[in-house]
Chains A and B, each alone.
Chain A
């Protein structure tokens, strides 16, 4: 299976700052089949990005994704208060579907 490793584990930033999150795959992810989710306690996970760089419906343009092969990045250009959460990547290029361990973006 494809193992996804996210870094850093925790990112401490202030509102208005830029967040850069990494997701590295143990094998190449075919067709850039990489998604990013936002997780908050007690809420349904929210799909942000699919196909490595396509924003899901209703996602603000401060969220962007990039990368291919084994290295992918989620960037939040300017953090809003509601963006402090855990972010998880997922590959869907090969079964079984796998997720990364998550990056927590916390208020500094």
Chain B
């Protein structure tokens, strides 16, 4: 069955760029019509949608992140990625990648999630 796995550094310095990758197994990003998503959860807080990417590279992101976000897709590796620049301690969170319930819906509910990866922003 479809599985998602986040990977990337667990520690990032303030003002630097956070980079994470989500590897999709058990299915092909390019042969489906999903808007693959990134969501995060800071410690003690609720979930926050970061943004989503279609296999063509079309993206939508959360305006609250003030254009610090770049989401991309690499269909040859069956992966999609997140870059968040100029990070601060407020970006410390568990970062999840997720697949929507429905195809062709850029703003969906998500029914398949990765286990999440903790990223700490600290010097």
Q: Give complex CA distance A50, B105 in Å.
A: 14
Question: Is the C-beta of B109 less than 8 angstroms from some C-beta in chain A?
Answer: yes
A33, A56, A88, A94: the one within 8 Å of B111 (CB): A56
Main DSSP-derived SS at the A contact region: loop
Interface residues of B in 28-85 (CB under 8 A from A): 39, 41, 45-49, 60, 62-64
Interface residues of A in 40-86 (CB under 8 A from B): 42-47, 50, 56-57
Q: Give complex CA distance A101, B64 in Å.
A: 16
Nearest residue (CB) in A for B47 is A99
A96, A99, A100: the one within 8 Å of B64 (CB): A96
Give the contact-size bracket for chain A: 20 to 34
Chain A residues within 8 Å of B48, by CB: 99
Q: Give complex CA distance A50, B98 in Å.
A: 15
Interface residues of A (CB under 8 A from B): 1, 33, 35, 37, 39, 42-47, 50, 56-57, 88, 90, 92-102
